[in-house]
């Protein structure tokens, strides 16, 4: 189903640099091998939509946001710096305090109008290229460039959109959530001196061992070190953006097919999406892989400090023949995911990843037949409150992150337009494959109600 195209205009102001509100240390910061690996040299965009506020209607939103941003950058001062190239292919953070990009914009549309299209307010968003004009696709502008680009767009109703994109090397999704939460505290309480949750750097904890010890196989990375193919913004935008909602009832139906009450929600959802995508795109005679990031921050030793906002994820990889994956039951796929997860549950696995990158250079993730599902469903972006209450939507802004067009999908907790809770998967596909993919997902769920919730740009 083609999207409803809204005719509205977004007037975007000139970019300005927001610097820390007070002096910060001038130094170079170490990035771990997980932070600056090739597969994370990209950008991660987010969006928060807010309804009008009666109590704060007299507040100058833009001034408040810029002041809060400047305050939070005092504590997250590496974010105001720049990445520089270092020895042996590594990157370092130059804490130069040059600042982050900020833009003010105005859109002649109301939040209510946005919420009425295509099953409620969810990605893909109309006119996204104007709602975050500094959105960056692929591996462009990684070094010598601002690490955060933010735009606040006032809506005609008095609501607003906060959109921003982080350089993935400086933080992951959890780090972005932590940063925005601290910024929101300075908005709701301007007299607050420090964030309630202070950040920590701690990337040195994840330094490689000497000598490196690669104790696990790592099929998530390319088998050979070869020059990476750099995809252009046009390559990414050739694909259609779409999203699909799975209610808790849908997820229960998937778990029932797996015949395991103990099956984690992620395993069920990722297995469903992997099979549907394989049926839609992959030659049955080929090999297909599922990579799924696992955050080690709170479970592996050595423990990372409270307030850590860098990447601490590992990327285990399940592999299957495409024909077997689609012919065997859903439980087979979930079993592959579970088996791989169990095989990496240990302190040694993360250390092995760090050492593998040290020994083999910065190889990208394997790309042939590969699908990446990133689980953000536990991050409550929608609850970040700048004084306008909880958002109508909060979370990743689009699919198509990563270095390979169409490879990465994000899953976020979501409540649909009818108030039904579940998860939303953000996916990019060839335009001619969008309808087929949605149908294949519904086949997996074995749902009898009509296919709905399809939107694409």
Which residues participate in catalysis according to the annotation? 168, 385
Cα separation, 181 vs 198, in Å, equals 11
Q: How far apart are CA 135 and CA 142, in angstroms?
A: 13
What 3-state DSSP class applies to 261? coil
In the structure encoding, which two tokens stand for residue 266, read together? 């992620």
Chain position carrying tokens 């579940």: 422
How long is the chain?
457
Residue 115 burial by CB count (10 A; 0-12/13-18/19+): exposed, middle or buried?
Answer: middle
How is residue 238 written in tokens?
């050739």
Q: Which two tokens stand for residue 345?
A: 């549950």
Compute how many other C-beta atoms are within 10 angstroms of the C-beta atom of residue 86.
Answer: 14
Token pair, residue 198, equals 């202070």
Burial degree of 1 (CB within 10 A; 0-12, 13-18, 19+)? middle
- Using alpha carbons, list the distances in angstroms from residue 199 to 59, 71, 179, 319: 28, 13, 8, 37
Assess whether the previous peptide bond of 244 is cis (omega < 30° from 0). Answer: no
CA distance 455 to 438: 10
Q: How far apart are CA 373 and CA 415, in angstroms?
A: 20
């Amino acid at each position: 189903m083609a999207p409803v195209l809204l005719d509205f205009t977004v007037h975007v102001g000139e970019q300005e640099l927001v610097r820390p509100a007070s002096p910060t240390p001038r130094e170079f910061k170490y990035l771990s091998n997980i932070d600056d690996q090739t597969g994370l040299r990209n950008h991660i965009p987010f969006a928060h939509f807010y309804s009008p506020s009666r109590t704060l209607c007299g507040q100058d939103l833009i001034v408040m946001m810029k002041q809060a941003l400047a305050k939070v950058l005092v504590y997250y001062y590496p974010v105001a710096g720049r990445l520089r190239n270092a020895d042996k292919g590594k990157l370092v953070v130059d804490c130069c305090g040059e600042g982050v990009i900020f833009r003010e914009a105005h859109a002649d549309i109301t939040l209510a109008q946005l919420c009425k299209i295509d099953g409620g307010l969810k990605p893909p968003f109309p006119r996204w290229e104007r709602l975050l004009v500094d959105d960056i696709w692929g591996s462009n502008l990684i070094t010598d460039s601002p690490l955060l680009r933010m735009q606040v767009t006032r809506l005609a109703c008095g609501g607003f959109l906060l959109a921003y994109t982080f350089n993935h090397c400086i933080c992951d999704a959890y780090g972005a959530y932590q940063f925005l939460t601290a910024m929101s505290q300075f908005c709701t309480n301007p007299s607050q001196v420090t964030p309630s949750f202070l950040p920590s750097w701690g990337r040195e904890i994840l330094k490689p061992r000497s000598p490196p010890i690669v104790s696990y196989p790592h099929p998530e990375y390319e088998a050979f070190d070869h020059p990476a193919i750099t995809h252009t913004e046009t390559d990414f935008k050739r694909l259609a953006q779409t999203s699909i909602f799975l209610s808790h009832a849908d997820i229960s139906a998937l778990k029932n097919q797996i015949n395991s009450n103990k099956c984690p929600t992620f395993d069920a959802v990722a297995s469903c999406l992997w099979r549907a995508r394989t049926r839609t795109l992959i030659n049955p005679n080929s090999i297909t892989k599922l990579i799924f990031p696992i955050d080690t921050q709170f479970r592996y030793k050595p423990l990372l400090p409270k307030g850590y906002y860098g990447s601490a994820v590992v990327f285990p990889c399940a592999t299957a023949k495409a024909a077997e994956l689609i012919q065997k039951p859903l439980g087979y796929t979930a079993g592959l995911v579970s088996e791989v997860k169990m095989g990496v549950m240990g302190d040694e696995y993360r250390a092995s990843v760090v050492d593998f990158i040290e020994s083999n250079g910065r190889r990208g993730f394997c790309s042939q037949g590969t699908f990446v599902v990133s689980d953000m469903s536990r991050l409550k972006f929608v609850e970040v409150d700048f004084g306008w209450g909880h958002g109508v939507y909060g979370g990743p802004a689009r699919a198509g992150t990563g270095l390979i067009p169409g490879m990465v999908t994000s899953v976020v907790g979501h409540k649909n337009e009818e108030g039904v809770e579940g998860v939303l998967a953000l996916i990019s596909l060839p335009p001619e494959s969008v309808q087929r993919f949605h149908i294949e997902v519904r086949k997996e769920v074995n749902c009898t109600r009509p296919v709905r919730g399809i939107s694409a740009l």
